Amino acid sequence: MFKRVTIVGLSVVMFLPSIYEGSKAYADTVNNGTLMQYFEWYAPNDGDHWNRLR
């Protein structure tokens, strides 16, 4: 009986944090509105940078 209670208790302790971490990671990605950032170091200073990216 003690062995069964120990196994069930350890299973709950091991699997319960993974349930909460999964939902937290999903919530972080939902609130992040940045899809892509682009930076070019050696871009000419002609003001036409974004037109070249198309």
- pLDDT of 20: 59
Domain ranges of the chain: 1-30
Three-state SS sequence of the chain? CHHHHHHHHHHHHHHHHHHHHHHHHHHHHHHCCCCCCCCCCCCCCCCCHHHHHC
Q: Is the pLDDT of residue 5 over 80?
A: yes
- For the stretch 6-52, pLDDT in tens is 988 878 777 766 665 555 555 556 666 666 666 767 778 888 878 88
- pLDDT of 18: 62
Tokens 């992040």 sit on residue: 32
